[in-house]
Amino acid sequence: MAIDYGGKRIGIAFSESELLASPHSVIPNEGDVVARIASLAQQLGADTLILGLPRRARSRTGERKFRELAEQLRQQTCKPVVLWDETLSTVEAAERLRSGGRRRSKGTDDIDMYAAAVILQSYLDAHPGRQS
């Protein structure tokens, strides 16, 4: 399962086949998101959680925020959490939505889960045979 963590929305993607990532859902970033993500991971039977790490978070304080989230998810799920480079995942997701004929207004509602799918597909391509 992959997580595209944003300030307002969190995109979720999943792979059943270990080969192809599929967009799953978008949840608002409010309340106890760690518990909601952990619950989704359990419902989906995720073995590993892939947390997108944005380039802008590579500063000390930014990266610490993502590492702390990863640790909270590890503790809540008892599953491995991998920080994975999400560079240009939203750009690639937007391009896929446009090429699929999606209107901009509808595409922006779903962009986060498609970005999560891009992140997960990148991870799956780099680690064949692993389910997330």
The per-residue pLDDT for range 18-61, each reduced to its tens digit, is: 889 999 999 999 999 999 999 999 999 999 999 999 876 556 66
> With 80 as the cut, is the pLDDT of residue 130 above it?
no
DSSP state of 86: -
Report the run of H or E that residue 100 belongs to, with start and end. Answer: none
- What are the sequence ranges of the domains in the chain? 2-126
Contact 89, 4 (CB under 8 A): yes
What is the pTM (predicted TM-score) of this model? Answer: 0.85
Which CATH class for the 2-126 domain? alpha beta
Angle between helical axes of 104-126 and 89-99 (0-180°, round to 10) = 120
Question: CA 48, CA 55: separation in Å to the nearest integer?
Answer: 22
> What is residue 104's predicted lDDT score, i.e. its pLDDT?
53
The Cα-based distances of 72 to 29, 50, 105 in angstroms read: 15, 13, 33
